[in-house]
Structure 1
Amino acid sequence: MDTARGYGEDRQDRGQEPAGDVPPLEMGTDERRMHVRAYNHWVSLLGGRAYPSIHDLNPEGIVDFGPHSVLLDFSQGIENPAIAYLGRALREECALDASITHISDVPARSLLSRLTDHYLQIIANRAPIGFEAEFVGTRGNNTLYRGILMPFSSNEDTIDFIYGVINWKELVDAETQARLDAEVEASLTQAPAPKPSAPVWADGPSGGFEEPEAAQTLAEEPLTLAASLPDQLLLAQQTAAAVRAADTRSRAALYRALSRAHDFAIAAGEDPDGYVALRDAAGITAQARAPMTPIVKLVFGADYDKTRVTEFAAVLSHAERHGVPAGELAAFLDAQEGGIKGVVKAERAARTPARRAKPAPSLDNRPALATVKLDSGRAQGEYLVLLARAHGDGVEIMAAIADDPALTDRALRRAAA
């Protein structure tokens, strides 16, 4: 199943012009992710407008990712947009000829369909959408892919063009894979397993895909604090997107997403200026009383359910207060009684200072209205509540209540008022 994420999800009003406030995603010197370079190109064409002008886009002139791209034309309607441009590499991969002119012509199991299937999300979100997944292609082999769709306009107001870029890697057939696995297993018995020295998805289109639980050892490697802050945020957002798509039905996926968010929070503490820049670019304000709320909104989206945002912020605050190291929040949550709910309860209890009740006022210096001989069961000078009933020109004592301190306290305060 695809997982999609809007790069501009955090904008409060998607119809407002981002002007110069949408920064490129700085990925460091080793920037090898094609969809990130495509996004940076989209940002460079904004020019203070809500959407880049279609007249500024020249797919044929983009040597880097132009051959991996497609341009959809909605000027004649959104039901069946025309294919205005189809890159050579994408056309050859899908074995398509010049007869493919509209989305309705795209074969259902082709790689191109993985791009065009997402176009309505752009119309709804009014911002770039990134996605990644795997599927079985027309040749019967699993194909891993990562891509992005970006809105363009001919009048600076309406989205009537969408430009998509996709990168992919086709896996080998089962027989070849089994033979390779056997060779790798044999070699591993003769040498210790090397420790990964780079982020798991730093290279190639197959990095960062959701894998089965039993095969996620490498995927659980935390991103080191040496990585750039935008890189950490992008990884956390990719993980959170899977959670949003699954509606948090997978506890393991949710714990991984929160762990990535915690890693980003730690990195943000190491680079406060970079964090402020990312937060401001997303239009998210700082909250002195809830410092982790902006972190959650950056990772999960400003439009995410407010109750969950509050709960997730409490989890991150709890992790910070307990000094949970980067990459270990998932294991920490798994060991807590009650999981996330238990952690949220504990964090809220820790935030609430113990209420010191003011002592009830004393009536020791006030003269008594009457003295009644009655076995109250209380020591000399202690207070209790007497329940009386009007009778003739006096009252009848009906009961002595000496076992309710709260009632006695309220009665003393009311009497002293």
Structure 2
Amino acid sequence: MNMVKGAEGEATAKTGGAGHPLDIGTDERRMHVRAYNYWVSLLGGRAYPSIEDLDPTNIADFGANSVLLDFSHGVEDPAVAYLGRSLREECGVEASIRQISEVPARSLLSRLTDHYLQIIANRAPIGFEAEFVGQKGQNTLYRGILMPFSSDDDTIDFIYGVINWKVTVDDEMQARLAAEVEAARRELPRIEVAVAPAWADGPSAVFAEPPVDEAPVAPDFLDADAGLADLLDNARACADDVGQADKRTRAALYRALDRAYAFAEAAAGDPEGYAELLDDAGLKPQARAPMTPIVKLVFGVGQDKTRLTEYAAVLTHARRQGIAVEGFAAFLSGAEGGIKGIVAAERAVRRPATRPDGFAAAADMLRAKAPIASLPIAAGDEEFVLLVARAGLNGMLEVVARVEGEAALTEKAIRSAGG
């Protein structure tokens, strides 16, 4: 098995040996498996299938996801003899591509053609899979296979490739989309719905449990007069959702932070009730980091300290920006860089200001100062010159040398004299 590293992903290439045993999985539904089986069906006892038996335009199954490379005129820049419609659309190609050198960089087709020389070296099919960030900035998972064809049953002068792919949404984007939906939901008028009992074996059984492919979601509080303890319980329930859900439901984290922020604002209006909750949990208020006890109450003191610090930074930055409780979800969804971006912005605000460099002020002071004496010594091109003098007779100073090539020493002297 050979490993082929790409620019953004790590592709695993699986090659077949002399008898063409290629480990590409057993799921017959996979396109690259069907393509490999098709290639085997064309062998007919030969080393390689004949190129005359291949007609990609008539392969309804995977022809649109395929490309045919022609090496009959050399391997340096093979010709593109056929390019399927789906691959053409994915690459944004309108005009015909005649050579591999014309394949757009960072396109899916470029990931497929990157492996063609392995076919020549191994003289066998190669399967591969990886992920990369494409031309449109989308994360793309792909899986494909390259298969050799011959015009004389001996020379590999054609390669037929088939590739399948899907575009994925990363965790941060998924969370931001979910936060936008949550913000839009908040703007809708609330509708009171009468809820009938749901019996496990009755006509309402379909409502008895959440769908298995969704993470459990803590209920909203419809009562605007909910107490501080109730708000904390709701925030904790959302935090529990974060721990139970997989990464595709990371939106649960945004939801939990939203409830934690609502609790923080309510706690600010009820300091006595907040103090009791802190005391019950064995926590103390922190003047320099007031949101840290909040996230500990909501997410638990056993939560990873780095995570707690980041959550506290998010809440602190929202309060610093004057974000209202009802606008917190929109604040999260609209933040550049998501949670990481908010944390970075808050840390930048806290970062102490850089101390001013005193060299410029010291140099300006020395420029304005009246000279003590003038000596007939060539100054050269330098503005300031460092001289070494010794005590002479009658209280006079005798200059004995000029220090050259010591910029750092000269700068230190300027800082000292002008400080």
Smaller-chain TM-score bracket = 0.3 to 0.5
Bigger share in helix: 2
Indicate the structure (1 or 2) with the bigger Cα radius of gyration: 2
